[in-house]
Amino acid sequence: MIAYVVRRLILAIVTIWAISVVSYAIIQLPPGDFVDSYIANLSASGSMVSAQEAEAMREHYGLNRPIWVQYAKWMNRVIRGDFGVSLEWNRPVTEVIGDRLWLTIVISIAAIILTWGIALPIGIYSAVRQYSIADYIFTFVGFVGLAVPNFLLALIVMYLGFRYFDASIGGLFSPEYELAPWSWGKVWDLTVHLPLPALILALAGTAQLIRIMRANLLDELRRPYVTTARARGLQEWRVIMKYPVRASLNPFASTIGYLLPFVVSGSIVVSLVLSLPTVGPLLLRALVAQDMFLAGAIVLLLGVLTVIGTFLSDLVLMWIDPRIRAGLHG
């Protein structure tokens, strides 16, 4: 059991390292270095920088050193919470990102909870009433959710809202709360606005989960113990809920490993369409404006948070699945 946790932990750390390398590569990819763009930015606003000053700045950021030294320096600063300065905003990256990171997490978690909330009852129903009309309908709706890209769904929902309800769907807050400091009123406002984007995100992931749940439960329902339970006169509802459903719940925890990156990815795109104040629109703007420290920091933070989330879900999986606890598999 401890070996399992340690192995997962090591893998998570290696993954985080890989993500940091990729993030740094993204920062480095555009031609010219940070100082070049910084100077270009300054001269655009009228102030000049001498070659000497530029050299001093390169020295400060270690830009004249080999690339791996630069990476190490950058990592060193990142670990201390210093992600550099956003060129476009002229403020520290951490300040620019601010609440947006947490809102991204809130939306992603809401979407995952909703995915489970939709997939569990439908999966059970589809298995118990296999080949019924509702089973076919749910399967089809699930497939449509799978097939329609997130952004398209958001676009269609936005259009329908505009066309038939005359409501502008978008944002996470009502205008009066948008810039207000956090308060209970703002939290409530967020809760009211959250379901729609979360539902759009959730629809994409439910199809697969419904199918896994359905298949697992169908396998379980054919087992002799179910017949035994029925023969002993248990209520049908108890027969199904008590053991077969519990035994087939496994995928709900084990799929979070793929669901989380998927939902975080989707949240970026959906946020752009619905103009949600998450890191999504910020990342796109940063990339278009070549504000690379900001872009790199967002890619890094999203990746790291996803890996941590996956690691936590592994621990949950271990907690609910005795087979993994006993080191039998995984």
Partner 1 sequence: MSTVLDAAPAPVTTVAEEKVAVATQLQLTWWRFRKHKVAVASGVIVAFFYLVALLADFLATIGPHATDAARSYIPPQEIHWFDEDGSFRPHVFALKGKRDPRTFRLVYAPDPEDKRYLVLFGQGYAYEFLGLFPTSRHLVGLDRGNPEEALFLLGTDQLGRDFWSRLVLATRTSLVIGLAGVALSLFLGVLLGGISGLYGGWIDTVIQRLIEILRSIPTIPLWMGLAAALPASWSVLQIYLAITVIISLIGWTELARVVRGRFLSLREEDFVTAAELAGASRMRIIFRHMVPSFLSHIIAAVSLALPAMIISETTLSFLGLGLRPPAISWGVLLQDAQNIQALGIAPWLLLAAVPVIVVILAFNFLGDGLRDAADPYG
Distance CA 36, CA 42 (A): 10
Give residues 276-315 in contact with partner 1 (rule: CB under 8 A): 283-284, 287-288, 290, 295-296, 298-299, 302-303, 306-307, 310
Name 85's bridge partners. Answer: 92
Q: At what angle do helices 133-147 and 195-221 cross, to 10 degrees?
A: 130
* Interface with partner 1, residue 26, by CB under 8 A: yes
Name 92's bridge partners. Answer: 85
Distance CA 58, CA 61 (A): 5
Site for partner 1 (CB under 8 A): which residue of 1, 14, 113, 180? 14
Per-residue CA distances from 151 to 40, 47, 155, 203 (Å): 35, 42, 6, 12
For the CA atoms of 74, 79, 84, 88, what is the dihedral angle to 10 degrees? 120
As a whole number of Å, the CA-based R_g of the chain is 25
In the complex, minimum distance from the CB of residue 302 to partner 1, in angstroms, rounded to a whole number: 5
Contact region with partner 1 (CB under 8 A), list: 38-46, 85-93, 156-164, 216-224: 156-164
Site for partner 1 (CB under 8 A): which residue of 68, 102, 162, 319? 162
- Mask: binding to partner 1, 223-262, rule CB under 8 A, as x and -? ----------------------------------xx-xxx
Task: Tell me the number of residues near partner 1 by CB under 8 A.
Answer: 53
Distance CA 78, CA 29 (A): 19
Contact region with partner 1 (CB under 8 A), list: 71-79, 144-152, 174-182, 238-246: 144-152
Residues that bind partner 1 (CB under 8 A): 11, 14-15, 18-19, 22-23, 26, 29-31, 143-144, 146-152, 155-156, 158-159, 162-163, 168, 257-258, 260-262, 264-266, 268-269, 272-273, 283-284, 287-288, 290, 295-296, 298-299, 302-303, 306-307, 310
